[in-house]
Amino acid sequence: MSTQEVPLPIVELMADGPETAVHLAKARAFAEPLLASRHFDTDEDALEHADGVADILRAMGAAPSLQAAVYLVYAGEFLSDPEDVVTQAFGPSYGHLVSHTRKLVQVQRHARGAMAEDPGAQGQADQLELVRKMLLAFSRDLRVVLLRLASRLQTLRHYAATKKPCPPMLAREAQQIFAPLANRLGIWQIKWEMEDLVFRFLEPEQYKRIASLLDEKRVERESRIEAVRCQLIETLAQGGITAQVHGRPKHIYSIWKKMRGKQLEFARVLDVSALRVIVRSVEECYAALGRVHERWQPLPDEFDDYIARPKSNGYQSLHTVVLSDPVVGGPAAAPVEIQIRTLVMHEHAESGVAAHWAYKEAGTKGYAGVSAAGDFEDRVALARRAVLHQLLAWERDAVQAVAETIPAQGLFEDRIYVFTPQGNIVELTAGATPIDFAYSLHTDLGHRCRGAKVDGVMVPLQTALQSGQTVEVSAIKEGGPSMDWLNPQLGYLRSARARTKVRAWFNARAQQETIARGRDAVERLLQREGRTALKLDTLAEQLGFEHADALFEKVGKDEYPLRNIENLLRPPAPPEEEKEVVIRRSRMGDGSSAGVLVVGVPSLMTQLSRCCRPAPPDPIRGYVTRGKGVAVHRADCPSFRQMALQAAERVLAVTWDGEDHVADGVLYPVNVSILAADRQGLLRDISEVFTKEKINVTGVHTQSVKARAWMTFTVEVADVARLTTVLEHVAQVPGVQSARRK
C-alpha cells in the first residue's frame, strides 16, 4: 500500500473538457526539452517513444488528460525530484501517476534481470512478484496499466520498424505478462498486435510461414469477404435490421495458436476470414443470427453464444461459422466466421472494461477530487470492482502458467486481495479477518470496528476472507479494541501488523493511566507545599525531564521518588563546610621532658622521644645521646631495644617525677592511629570527638587509598589511662574500623 493508510483512488482522471487539449500541449512542451536527444535502455528516442504511446492511447479513445500524462511520466525519468516537480506544475493526480509508474518500471527491469540471470524457478518467482507489484499499482491508479500496456506495444513496434532484434526477456515479458493482462481487461487491439509482434520476434520462421500462407491467397480471400459482406448487408436489410458490417483480418498469432492447439493444417483453419456485424440491441443480435443461418449453411460445433455466457473478461458477442456461396468464376465455397454484437459490446471489445469505464464514466464526471453521488457512484464502484476482478483473474492465470513449468507451490498462497465497497483493492495476509481488513485501511477504523459484511452478508468478525470478496465494516463513533482480539485461539486477528496496532492501543492506554496517576501525586504534593502556581513543564525541566508527562510517567511507575521534588521545592540547608582540625601548639613549649627523673643523676637534661611518645604511667627507660642529654623511651619501644643491644652502657634508669604529675597540668604528646572507610566529613566527625573530650590535637596526617583512610593524630594527654576512654568514643564514629595508640 502507499505510505497513506487509506489507499489512493483507483483512477484520478481530470474532468475532460476544452481545457484538456491545452493541458496536453502544455505537458508536451514541458517534456520536450527534457526528452529531446535522450534515449531509453531499449535505444528508443525518448520523445518519439512518448509520442507513440500517446498515439496508441488516442487510438484507444483515451482522453487528452491521459495522453498528457504520458509526457509527464517520461519527463520524470530525467528530473531529480519528479513527483514534487510534476505535482507543483500539473497537480497531485499527475504527481502520483509519475511516482507509481516509475516504481513499476524499476520492478519490471529487476524482474527482467532476474529472468536473464536465472531462467529457472527463482526467475519465474521474480516474474510473478512483478505481477503482484503491478496488481497493487493498478489498484491504486488504473492509468498505470494503460500507460504500461501502450508503452510496451510502442517498444515492440520500435523493434519491428528498425528491424533490430528484440531482447528475448522483453518479448517473453510481453507474452507472459502484458498480453494476458490486455486480454483480461478486454483491450484486444493491444493484445492482438502485441501477440503478433512477440510471435514475430520469438518464432520468426513460423511467423514468416503463416504470413506467406495468408499472403498467397490474400486477393482471393479479400474478394470473397467483400462479396459475403455485401450479401450480408442485403440479407439483414430484407429482415428490417440496420447494421454495420466490416471485414476483420485474422491475426497471425491466433491462427498459429489454433493450428498448434488443434493440430490443424493451415487449410483447415476455418476462421481465417471473418465479418463483424454491429446492431442496436441484443434482440437484433439474435434476429441477425437467424437471418445469417437462413442465408448460409452453419457449420456444426462452430457456434458460440458469448452474450448468454460472456467470457471471463466480460467479452460478449455471437460467433458462428457459415459456408459462403461459391464465387462466380472463382473458387468454391469456403467457411467464413461472422461475429454479431451491439455497439456497446463492440466498444467494450475494442477498448475493454478498463478503458470504457475510466474514459467515459470518470472522464465525463471529473472523478478526481469530486465525490459523485447516487447511481453514478454505484456504477463507478461496480465498474471498478469489475476491472479489479479481471486483474485478480490475470494474477491467477499467471501463477497457473508458471505452475505448469516449475514447482510454484506456495507462490501467492500467503496473501489475498479483497475489495472495499468503493472498489479499491486491499492486499491482506491469507486467512485475514474483517478486523485485519479494517486495520489495513486505517488504524482508528480498526480500533472502532464492531461488525462486518462480506458481499453484503453479515459475518462474524473471525471470518477468514477470500480473494475477490467485497468487505464492508461497521464501526462505533468512539472506542477501542477488545483484549479478546489478542487471543490467538479466538481467531480475531491473523496479521502481525494488526496485532501490533492493538497492543500499541493497550500500551498507550496503560501509559495514559500511569501518567494520570503520576500527575495526581505531583499535584497533591504541590498543594501541600503551597506551590500550585508552579508550571508543571517548568518543574519537569528543573528535574531533568523533557516535559511534564515524562515526569508523571516516572512518578506513576514509582521510578522517581517524590522526595526529589520536595528537595527541589524545599532545598535543605547547605552542608557545613568541612571544619579544619584545630592544631594547638604544645604546652610543653620546647619539648623538654618535665616530670622525668634520672635515677642517681640529678638535674640531667632529658628529652621525650618522638618515636614512641611516652606518657605517664608508661614504663620508661633512658638512653644517653650525644649532645642532647637523655632520650626517654617507652620500655617496649622497638627503637630503644635496638639501641640498647648496640650500646648497653648508655642505658639509664628513669622514672616519672612523683605521683602528682597530672595535678601539675603537664601534657604529654601521644600518637593515635585510626583506620576507617573513607567518606565525606570523616575527619570532621573524629575531630569533634577529641574536641568534646577536651583533647588538644597538635598534628594530623591522613592518607586515603581505595576508599580506605589511614589517619594519625598527635594529641596531648596528662595520663594515657584517660586516652583509652577517648579512643572508645572515636571507634563509635560511623566508618571507623579501629582506633588505637600508636
Cis before 617 (ω within 30): yes
Give the confidence band of 153 by pLDDT, cuts at 50, 70, 90. very high
Determine contact, residues 633/606, Cβ cutoff 8 Å.
Answer: no
Q: Cα–Cα distance between 423 and 11 in angstroms, integer?
A: 11
Average pLDDT over residues 249-272: 64
* pLDDT tens per residue across span 100-126: 777 777 666 665 655 555 555 555 555
What share of the chain in percent tops pLDDT 90? 17
3-state secondary structure of 81: coil
**Joined grid coordinates for residue 18:** 476544452
β-bridge partners, 736: 676
Reply yes or no on whether the pLDDT at 594 is more than 70: no
Instruction: Band the pLDDT of 130: cuts 50, 70, 90.
Output: low
- In which band, very low, low, confident or very high, does the pLDDT at 373 lie, cut at 50, 70 and 90? very low
Distance, in Å, from the CA atom of 418 to the CA atom of 464, rounded to the nearest integer, reads: 11
Specify whether the CB–CB gap between 116 and 169 falls below 8 A. Answer: yes
Sorting pLDDT into bands at 50, 70 and 90, what band is 267? low
Query: Rounded to the nearest 5°, which phi and psi values hold at 703?
Result: -145, 130
Contacts of 205 (CB under 8 A, 6+ apart): none
Closest by Cα among 648, 618, 653 to 636: 618
Query: Mind listing the domains of the chain with CATH numbers?
Result: 1-202+385-400 (1.10.3210.10), 414-494 (3.10.20.30), 505-569 (no CATH), 574-587+667-742 (3.30.70.260), 589-664 (no CATH)
Q: Is the pLDDT of residue 520 over 50?
A: yes
Q: What angle do CA 96, 380, 76 make, to 5 degrees?
A: 15
Q: Helix, strand, or coil here: 86? A: helix
Q: Would you state the cell numbers that stand for residue 205, as one nine-digit string?
A: 520462421
pLDDT of residue 47: 92
Residues whose CB is less than 8 angstroms from the CB of residue 169 and which lie 6 or more positions away in sequence, other chains included: 112, 115, 116
H or E element, residue 3: none
Of 26-30, 431-435, 738-742, minimum mean pLDDT range? 738-742
Average confidence score pLDDT of the chain: 77
The predicted model scores a pTM of: 0.52
Predicted confidence (pLDDT) at residue 689 exceeds the cutoff of 50: yes
Smallest CA-to-CA distance from 100 within 136, 151, 55, 49 is with 136
DSSP 239-308: TT---EEEE-PPPHHHHHHHHHHTT--GGG-TTSSEEEEEESSHHHHHHHHHHHHHHSEEPTT--EETTT
Supply φ then ψ for residue 259, to 5 degrees: -60, -45
Q: For the chain, what is the total number of helices (H) and then of strands (E)?
A: 26, 21
Do 402 and 408 contact (CB within 8 A), yes or no?
yes
Convert 116-125 to b/e letters by CB count within 10 Å (16 or more is b). Answer: eeeeeeebbb
CA distances to 10, 15, 19, 138, 146 from 367, in Å: 10, 7, 16, 16, 17
**Which band of pLDDT confidence, cut at 50, 70 and 90, is reported for residue 435?**
very high
Length of the chain in residues, anyone? Answer: 742
CB 28 within 8 A of CB 71: yes
The residue written with cell numbers 506456495 in the block is 410
Nine cell digits for residue 351? 477498448
Q: Find, among 678, 659, 674, the residue nearest to 715 by Cα.
A: 674
Residue 295 clears pLDDT 60, i.e. is over it:
yes
Q: Mean pLDDT throughout 458-473?
A: 89
pLDDT tens for residues 171-215?
A: 888 887 788 878 777 777 788 889 889 988 988 888 888 777 766
Q: Which residues, other chains included, contact 415 with Cβ-Cβ below 8 Å and sequence gap of 6+? A: 132, 427, 428, 429, 430
Q: For residue 559, how many other CB atoms are within 10 A of its CB?
A: 9
Give the span between the Cα atoms of 642 and 625, in whole angstroms.
Answer: 14
Q: Which residues contact 459 (CB under 8 A, 6 or more apart)?
A: 434, 452, 453
| Residues 381-406: tens digit of each pLDDT | 555 566 666 666 666 666 666 555 54
Own/partner pairs, 240-245, CB within 8 angstroms, 24+ separation: 241/279, 241/284, 241/287, 241/288, 241/291, 242/279, 242/280, 243/277, 243/278, 243/279, 243/284, 243/288, 244/277, 244/278, 245/275, 245/276, 245/277, 245/278
Q: What is the DSSP string of 514-554?
A: HHHHHHHHHHHHHHHHT-TTS-HHHHHHHTT-SSHHHHHHH
Residue 13 DSSP class:
P
Per-residue pLDDT at 236: 92
Between the alpha carbon of residue 597 and those of residues 87, 558, 605, 631, 686, the distances in Å are 114, 73, 9, 12, 35
Q: At 318, phi and psi to the nearest 5?
A: -105, 130
Taking the CA atoms of residue 552, residue 553, residue 559 and residue 563 in that order, the dihedral angle to the nearest 10 degrees is 0
Q: How far apart are CA 57 and CA 595, in angstroms?
A: 128
Q: Tell me which amino acid residue 53 is.
A: V
